[in-house]
Structure 1
Amino acid sequence: MARTVLFVMTGSNQWTLKDGTKHPTGFWAEEAVAPFEIFRDAGLDVTVATPGGVRPPVDEGSLSAENAGSAQAAVHFRDVIENAPEFQNPIALSAVNLADFDAVFVPGGHGPMEDLAVDADAGTILTSAKQADLPVGIVCHGPAILLSAVDSNGQSLFAGKTVTAFTNVEEQQAGLADQAPWLLQDRLTDAGLKVLADEPWAPHIETDGSLFTGQNPASSAPLATALVERLGKAN
């Protein structure tokens, strides 16, 4: 039977900024499509889960030619997102039985900062994955989901872990740092995680035990490849 990766994805198409206004968002196309294709090519099945089982919304900004890398890439990303059944028919996070999966992957985009960062079901999934030593890959803004996994005292279950994530510098260069209600690098650091930052926009992944993290969109494919390699070694 094929091994299966659980894609935990945002269900939010907006991000509440510091002044209360809503910024259109969702998941970042490359961060979902590139790993999805790497997993599929490796013979892995993918199941998508979102809060409430809603169809994950793509950040339309990630489908511009500039942000996708080329017009051809943008068309390809949209085609996969709109036609792959995995993205069309998600299950609810509350319905996930983690025993059915061999790994967890969390794409980024600003959406996870709105919902996954505070979602109790997301926290339960990560807690169970940590207890089972299940490989978990999280990229860019996706590490916001780590904030959902806390103990009875509200302390992070991932405190002390070394990770990377979308950095303050990258947020500033992207133009949204001043409007953000909080910055991911700061919030993860405050939660007790050790956040390592490399050059802005360059591929960068960190591995700490079964936790794999990537800094930015360019890190998506290397992160997925590292996760496939880990699953291969577990065979």
Structure 2
Amino acid sequence: MAPKVLVVLTSQNVFPNTNHPTGWYLPEFAHPWKVLHEAGVELTIASPKGGEAPLDPASVELFKEDATSVDFLKNQQSLWKNTVRLADIVPRANEFDAIFYVGGHGPMFDLVSDPVSLSLIQTFASAKKPVSAVCHGPIVFVNATTPSGEPLLRDATVTGFSNTEEDQAQMTSSMPFLLEDRIKAIPGAKYVKAEQPWGVKVVVDKTYQLGGALITGQNPASATEVGKELLKALGL
């Protein structure tokens, strides 16, 4: 049987302080989806609110020359226009072999503290199933805990969108906090990043709290490699 991966998208469609559109980031879904789909992985797409998950329009513009993103945007809209409500996944969580969080600025506002998401992360991690995220996606792990209440990221090595990249994207003032700072604030957590901003960086930590595979990617450029590492973790 084909492995099943739960893909989680944000439901946050605007920045609360500016009302400027946001959402999930096109290449961070398009590239891992291509890797997983071509390997025969079965994907279920969910979001906190269900229904249409908001695509960040800025990502469409910025990646209009990226063939994978363009093809995905043109041919796979049903994936994000008809997402399953995250709460409806809870009773069937054991059906899935891994969970993956797409980035974009949206997760910084909703998924960071969503109780259903945090419960699912604990469920997957406790079962030693791969938990993965890219770019701003790793923010979903900063409030996650083990069943005993320890921070999931205590003593873990993690990457995610850097403070420098946030500054260069001119988005720092729109953020409720910075992802790099939040990871570094967790006891023992080690934040790492590429030598240069926007460079590819993917971290696979198999020694973190619960001992499964914790897979994180730094930025949009890292999305394909996150997909490949997730395939490896699934034994493909």
Q: Which has the higher helix share?
A: 1
Partner of 1:88: 81
CA change 1:160–1:69 in 2 (3 A) is farther
Q: Alignment RMSD, CA only? A: 1.9
**8 Å contact kept, 1:129–1:135:** yes
TM-score by length of 1: 0.89
Q: Hey, what's the Cα distance between the residues in 1 that align with 2:40 and 2:66?
A: 28
The Cα of 1:15 is off from its aligned counterpart by 2.3
Q: How does 1:194-209 map to 2 (within 5 A)?
A: 194-198=190-194, 199-209=196-206
The Cα of 1:12 is off from its aligned counterpart by 0.9
1:27-56 Cα shifts (integer Å, max 9, x gaps): 000000111111110000100111021321
AA partner of residue 80 (structure 2): F
SS at match of 1:94: helix
Q: How does 1:55-70 map to 2 (within 5 A)?
A: 55-64=52-61, 67-68=62-63, 70=65
The Cα of 1:77 is off from its aligned counterpart by 3.5
Greater Cα shift, 172-181 or 94-103:
172-181
**8 Å contact kept, 1:116–1:148:** no
AA partner of residue 107 (structure 1): V
CA change 1:15–1:160 in 2 (3 A) is farther
**8 Å contact kept, 1:14–1:114:** no
The Cα of 1:191 is off from its aligned counterpart by 2.5
* Structure 2 alignment gaps of length 5 or more: 207-212
SS at match of 1:52: coil
Aligned mate of 2:43, from 29, 46, 55: 46
- Equivalences, count: 226
TM-score by length of 2: 0.89
Identity of aligned residues (%): 35
